[in-house]
Amino acid sequence: MRILIAEDDLTSRLFMNKYLSKYGECDVVMNGMEAIDLVINAIELNDYYDLICLDIMMPKVDGIKALKTIREIEKTAKLPIKPSKIIMTTALNDVETVQSAYDQGCEAYAWKPIDIDKFDAVLKSLDLIPN
Amino acid sequence: MEYWKYRISTLRLMNSLFIIILIWFTSIFYSNHQEDMHSVYIILALGIACLIGVLIGSFGKRFIPNYQTMLSAIIWTETIVLTDICLLVQFQLTQLVLFILLLVAIFSVFNRKVFQQFTMGYIVCVVPIITLSGYDNSEKIVFIGIILILMLLSFLKSNYEFNLFKAYETSNKYQFFLLENALEAFALNEIILDEQGKVSNYKILEINKAFEQLTGLTRASIIDKTVFEVFPNTEEYWIKVYGEVVLLGLQKTIVNYAKDFDKWIEVTAYPVNEKQFCVMFVDVSSNLEHERQRTDAIKIAENSILLKNQFLRDVNHRLRTPLNGMMGMMQLINRDEIKGENRELFEAMALEMKHSRNIINQISKYVEIQNIQLTYEKYNVFDLLTKELAELNQDNSIICCVREEVRTTPYYLEKSVLTSVFKELMTNAILHTKNEQIEVCVDIADQTQASETITLLISVSDYGEGMDEDKLKYIFNEFYHHDFISIYREDDRISLPMCKQLLKSCGGDLTVESDLGEKTTFLMTLPLYYSEVHPIRSIENVKTGSIYD
């Protein structure tokens, strides 16, 4: 499984990388802009991500904007690709942000601190890891 | 003197009554004994003329300019015409005298002196005629008796009239005193029209002391002068406004800056008659300054609250982010590989992390409460509480006593405050009660007087360990935790201090009573409204409590 993690906080980044690396190869970036760049590269190389974890509050381009851009890129890609499963991760727990993320096309939403048992359950429900 | 009891209309009524009795008496006198119906008709015609005169006197002033001059002309014309008629029909001299006296009586209605002269004249002329006439003595006694009644009525009327004029004098004196010593500056003015009939200026007729103080000018230098002579810089705006007041008969209140006084003035102008108008001035410069200062203070307070909340959000996020990472990391550590004392230290560290996270969550909730927008909608309290109870996972038996009115009547209320606080109280009670019963009582406070609101009372009692006085003392202090289990609460719960703050922001409250080892009862109060409300979230509400308390 190809995984992209966008997270600005060092500790959270390390944690996500450590936790998800057991399920596949992880690319880790620090903001939304870098995440978009990697998505474009991956599509060009025809080696697209199966899972993208986006933090909401990130510098340069935040998670919601990055999500929207990634979904647009996927739609306009020259080669047919299977869209990534995108899970938003954030400490924000307000309903409006959650709704906004779902409106932009995310598959799931995980509040920090990430509970790995719950996160595993989400990955299973998205058919990213076997039950 | 109770001068307001005396009315000019009452006096006119008495005059009319007097004249009508007089006419009635005279007509009977002639019709019964001389069988000369001509005189009766003429006297009745005079009576009608008299009544018309009274009506014109009462109401004519409103519609006919110079009505008194006009009325005099009508009456004297009638006198001449009727005298001619009397001569033509060969009336006797006595009758003629009586007619003239009656005409004078009409005029006397409007003139006190003429009335008195007429009354005396009538008595002097009529009594001798009756005495010398050929009537028998019993008839003479009746007639003279009636005349004496008329005299008594005349006396009462004169007395009333005296009191009336005295009342007017008193009233005028009081009014003058009130106006002269009023805090508001007062001026009576008369508009001046130009050739096109437009208001171009106005003359100042009268002012009071406050006006002198406001303008710094003396009465002598103002009275009978035009406004442009006294205040050359008067804006055309004022002339236009006063013109509308007089010509359209409107009352106007405006606040404007007056250059001549260098002040903000609230002016109330109202018409007096077709040319004159009164103006009352109040210097509101200081009021406006106070209002501006108050508005500024509110803005500063609101900004500081916004800044504080922004700061708290920022701190919250900055603390939460690394903590979340650390808590995530700890999940990845294999606990089984940590043995002995290290395991204890690890668990203590994990617990404190959780504790820290909960404090951060409390800060987050605190900021939310600070910014909550109260919305009132119509709900059935019983339905809302029942729903909340159903969502609670608990093994305790809950005994509910609910007032019938709460079961049946919907009210306007702040739903989120009611449900979240009730949920917190119930969760708290469940946490402190192990398989024992919890009592919930929902009631409404008795009202002593009619009001748009009633107070909802909800008590939640648990039979847990209870609390000692120390705990009770600090239980509503923000972030005071002592050894409460509630500090390790889940994210979606709010603390008891916040419950209290939420209720207070809606006009309610939260109190607690406890017997150590026996029972703890939380009592929440919340206003319920019969009709729709639009509450204003005031600074006073917002600033209650501080996390640094």
- Arithmetic mean of pLDDT, B389-416: 81
Tell me the per-residue pLDDT of B323-339, one tens digit each, with 9 for 90 and over.
Answer: 888 888 888 888 888 88
Q: How high does pLDDT run on average in chain B?
A: 75
Residue B358 structure tokens: 């909960």
CA separation for the pair B84, B96 (Å, rounded): 10
Q: Give residue B144's pLDDT.
A: 72
Q: Give residue B94's pLDDT.
A: 52
Going by C-beta distance under 8 Å and a sequence separation of 6 or more, which residues neighbour residue B404? none
Task: Characterize the bridge pairing of strands B185-193 and B276-283.
Answer: antiparallel
- Between chain A and chain B, the number of residue pairs with CB atoms below 8 A apart is 55
Nearest alpha carbon to residue B37 among B106, B93, B95 = B95
CA separation for the pair B483, B446 (Å, rounded): 38
Is A9–B324 a contact, with Cβ atoms under 8 angstroms apart? Answer: yes
Q: Give residue B185's pLDDT.
A: 87
CA separation for the pair B381, B408 (Å, rounded): 9
pLDDT band of residue B130 (cuts 50, 70, 90) is: low
Residue B421 structure tokens: 């606080």
Residue B187 structure tokens: 């001026």
> Is the pLDDT higher at B247 or at B450?
B247
pTM over 0.90: no
Q: Which residues of B touch A93 (CB under 8 A)?
A: 491
Is A15–B357 a contact, with Cβ atoms under 8 angstroms apart? Answer: no
B 322-341 residues with CB < 8 A to A: 322-329, 331-332
Q: Is A83 helix (H, G, I), strand (E, B) or coil?
A: coil
Q: Give residue B48's pLDDT.
A: 64
* pLDDT value at B104 more than 50: yes
Tell me the per-residue pLDDT of B259-282, one tens digit each, with 9 for 90 and over.
Answer: 777 778 888 999 988 889 999 888
Tell me the per-residue pLDDT of B182-201, one tens digit each, with 9 for 90 and over.
Answer: 888 889 999 998 888 888 89
* Rg, Å, chain B Cα set: 44
- Between A9, A16, A19, which is nearest B321 by CB? A9
CA distance B520 to chain A (A): 33
Is A93–B491 a contact, with Cβ atoms under 8 angstroms apart? Answer: yes
- Arithmetic mean of pLDDT, B282-298: 83
> Which chain B residue lies closest to A13 (C-alpha atoms)?
B325
- The answer to whether the beta carbons of residues B321 and A91 sit under 8 Å apart is yes
CA distance A90 to chain B (A): 9
Distance of CA B66 to the CA centre of its chain: 41
Residue A9 forms contact with B (CB below 8 Å): yes
- The answer to whether the beta carbons of residues A50 and A84 sit under 8 Å apart is yes
Tell me the per-residue pLDDT of B517-540, one tens digit each, with 9 for 90 and over.
Answer: 788 899 999 989 888 775 544 434
CA separation for the pair B526, B509 (Å, rounded): 7
- Between A10, A93, A114, which is nearest B328 by CB? A114
**In the block, which residue shows the tokens 């009544």?**
B51
pLDDT band of residue A125 (cuts 50, 70, 90) is: very high
Other C-beta atoms lying within 10 Å of the C-beta of residue B145: 10
Is B320–A91 a contact, with Cβ atoms under 8 angstroms apart? Answer: yes
- The answer to whether the beta carbons of residues B330 and A19 sit under 8 Å apart is no
DSSP assignment of B225-255 equals -BHHHH-TT--HHHHHHHHHHHHHT--EEEE
* pLDDT value at A25 more than 80: yes
CA distance B356 to chain A (A): 12
Q: Give residue B471's pLDDT.
A: 78
Tell me the per-residue pLDDT of A54-77, one tens digit each, with 9 for 90 and over.
Answer: 999 888 899 999 999 999 999 988
Task: Characterize the bridge pairing of strands B509-515 and A25-29.
Answer: unpaired
pLDDT band of residue B117 (cuts 50, 70, 90) is: low
State ipTM: 0.73
Residue B462: its H or E element? strand B453-462
B 127-186 residues with CB < 8 A to A: none
Task: Characterize the bridge pairing of strands A108-111 and B509-515.
Answer: unpaired
Which phi and psi (to 5°) does residue B224 adopt? Answer: 65, 15
